[in-house]
Amino acid sequence: MDKTYRILTALLLSFVIAASIIMYTVGLEQSHLGSERKWMYPLFFVLIPAFALQSGIRFLFRRKTQSKNVMEKSLTSKGGSPTDEA
């Protein structure tokens, strides 16, 4: 599970870097509409969604880890081992 979390985070980071560069160049091409376009496009269309996706990934994996820890604690408190099948 930890390996999956790292892979998803690395993929998201590489996607963010590539998409930010692409969106920055799109903003440069539209600089006649205002100089703020070159940083607004990467911010609103790449960085903010990536932050939301990273928060969601972190929530899912933390939730799975916490539920696994709770189950292990409940089994050990009852005298069983966490690897025993019910």
What does the pLDDT profile of the chain (86 residues) look like in tens digits? 889 999 999 999 999 999 999 988 888 888 788 888 888 888 999 999 999 999 999 998 887 667 777 777 766 666 655 565 54
Q: Which pLDDT score is estimated for 86? A: 47
pTM: 0.67
Q: Which pLDDT score is estimated for 32? A: 84
Q: With 0-12 CB in 10 A as exposed, 13-18 as middle and 19+ as buried, what is 43?
A: middle
Which has the closest alpha carbon to 53: 86, 3, 2, 5? 5
Helices (H), the chain: 2-29, 37-42, 48-77
Q: Which two tokens stand for residue 42?
A: 């990467």
Which has the closest alpha carbon to 18: 26, 30, 7? 26
Q: Which pLDDT score is estimated for 27? A: 84
Q: Which pLDDT score is estimated for 6? A: 92
